[in-house]
Amino acid sequence: MDELVTMTYSEAVREALAIAMERDERVFIMGEDVGTYGGAFGVTGDLIHRLGEDRVRDTTISELGIVGLGVGAAMTGMRPIVEIQFSDFTAQAMDQIANQAAKIHFMLGGAVNVPLVIRAPGGSGTGAAAQHSQSLEAWFAHIPGLKVVMPATADDAKGLLLSAIDDPNPVIVIEHKLLYKTSGEVRPGDTRVPIGVAEVRRTGGDLTIVATGVEVSRSLEAAEILAAEGIEATVVDPRTLKPLDTETIIAEVIKTGRVLLVQEAVKTLGFMSEVAAVLSETEAFVHLRAPIKRLAGLDIPIPYAPQLERAAVPQVDDIVAAARTLVQEW
């Protein structure tokens, strides 16, 4: 078996892009500053020098136009990857995302596929304020016809992106900005992570924590603190929000009887509300020893001030406190 390679999250994304484009001439990437500049977060890097301007295309500043071009290219047999500089800017392109990319396959009776990948850096923590720091995954997951993935590790960033590029359907890949510089072990070569399969990152018998995006690593850190207090937590990373691996989540909640659902996005109508509903409608409900607990961002636009920005979304200490209360009071 080939040895694992340590690389950053952004390097893993770039490697997936290079592998996909080198093996399939139909794959290309386009977006604002993805070429010579190397991407707003440096993810595309030197790909334009390695693969050329035809495969790594700088575009005008128009998210509606960029995604529209991607939809059209996908319908004609290409496999475009659109990079949106900040996930917030998908608001400018939602007509193409929700009314075109997601629906054309169904409206044309399955005669046409839209193998479009949209990469969208999301989340807070960079001091980018309210219009550049949102977590919009529930927005996308609500739209029939879209698949949504949120890789939390470098290996998943690479493997899920490769699977998304292969998929005949439009896939939204939400990459948390704080994760780009984190490092992890990545499987070498053309190795995929299947869409729709959750990962149990840690096992423990006292409660189950289900977390997404940057909250996965925060939950794992919180679990180590809790373990020192004698509280053992299971941590489940859905990895794919849609389609959601409900079987794994249900099975892990049944084992512990307590569940803490952690997301960075605001609580109201957030993705974890869907997870809570799934648990309440299935056999997991009768195994619960405590009410389902959600821990989420405050229902406010993300502030600019660093201390307020941190206070607006769950941090490690918040997860520890919520888990401790859930176990000790129930």
Q: How far apart are CA 283 and CA 105, in angstroms?
A: 34
Q: Strands 79-83, 240-242: parallel, antiparallel or unpaired by DSSP?
A: unpaired
Distances (CA, A) of 147 to 15, 106, 169: 22, 15, 7
Q: Which two tokens stand for residue 113?
A: 């596929």
The DSSP code sequence of 131-161 is TS----HHHHHTSTT-EEE---SHHHHHHHH
Question: Which of the following is catalytic: 49, 132, 176, 287?
Answer: 132
Q: How far apart are CA 117 and CA 330, in angstroms?
A: 43
Any idea which residue has 């995604």 for tokens?
A: 67
Q: Strands 27-31, 79-83: parallel, antiparallel or unpaired by DSSP?
A: parallel
State yes or no: is 142 an active-site residue. Answer: no
Q: Which two tokens stand for residue 93?
A: 């392109």
Among all residues, which ones are annotated catalytic? 132
